[in-house]
């Protein structure tokens, strides 16, 4: 199986979907934050390893605790994954914290702030030009 082939893409998406379901409904560890998402899964071509990219919407402590909880439950998650996905080998799952969503939200906030500042500056400049035009009309 080649990397990037249709089969590997389907396996990656199915593993990600099953991991998401397992984390959401099967795990009862209080360390795992309720707003934990599996963004993607990358299964190696020999089906022995899997990197699961996890996003946690919360503070730094919630992210740290969630990752610890997931690492502690890795064998249980692998067992449940074997029961749900019919693969020749069940991959060992490694969890990787992915902060792309938070970075994207931060960039969006920065863009909105700059846009608001620019709009305010344009409005202020427009008011000054209008006042100058009004003053010019009444010069005697």
Q: Which residue has the higher pLDDT, 42 or 106?
A: 42
CATH homologous superfamily for the domain 6-98: K homology (KH) domain (3.30.300.20)
Nearest alpha carbon to residue 37 among 55, 15, 21, 59: 55
- Per-domain boundaries in the chain: 6-98, 100-140
The tens digit of pLDDT for each residue in 54-76 reads 999 888 999 999 999 999 999 99
Q: What is the mean pLDDT of the chain?
A: 87
Average pLDDT over residues 13-33: 93
CB 80 within 8 A of CB 25: no
Rounded to the nearest 5°, which phi and psi values hold at 68? -65, -45
Q: What is the pLDDT of residue 124?
A: 81
Q: Is the pLDDT of residue 134 over 90?
A: no
Q: What is the pLDDT of residue 11?
A: 93
Q: Where are the beta strands (DSSP E) in the chain?
A: 36-43, 49-56, 92-97
Q: What is the pLDDT of residue 58?
A: 84
Integer Cα distance of 49 and 11 in angstroms: 12
The tens digit of pLDDT for each residue in 87-124 reads 889 999 999 998 888 888 889 999 999 999 988 888 88
Written as one string, the DSSP assignment of 11-45 is HHHHHHHHHHHIIIII---TTS-TTEEEEEEEE-T
Nearest alpha carbon to residue 95 among 69, 70, 59, 62: 70
* H/E segment holding residue 91: none
Average pLDDT over residues 127-137: 59
Q: How many residues does the chain have?
A: 140
Task: Render the burial of 19-34: b for 16+ CB within 10 Å, e for the rest.
Answer: bbebbeeebeeeebbe
Lowest-confidence segment of 13-17, 44-48, 66-70, 129-133 by average pLDDT: 129-133
Model confidence band, residue 81 (pLDDT cutoffs 50, 70, 90):
very high
Characterise 47 by phi-psi region: left (phi > 0), alpha (psi -120 to 50), beta (else).
Answer: left
């Amino acid at each position: 199986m080649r990397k990037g082939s249709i089969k590997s893409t389907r396996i990656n998406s199915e593993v990600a979907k099953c991991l998401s379901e397992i984390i959401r409904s099967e795990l009862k560890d209080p360390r795992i934050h309720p707003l934990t998402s599996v963004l993607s899964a990358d299964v190696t071509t020999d089906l022995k390893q899997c990197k699961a990219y996890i996003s946690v919407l919360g503070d730094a402590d919630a992210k740290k605790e969630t990752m610890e909880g997931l690492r502690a439950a890795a064998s249980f998650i692998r067992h449940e994954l074997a029961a749900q996905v019919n693969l020749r080998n069940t991959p060992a799952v490694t969890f990787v914290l992915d902060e792309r969503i938070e970075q994207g939200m931060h960039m969006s906030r920065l863009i909105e702030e700059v846009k608001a500042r620019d709009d305010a500056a344009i409005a202020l400049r427009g008011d000054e030009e209008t006042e100058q035009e009004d003053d010019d009309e009444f010069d005697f």
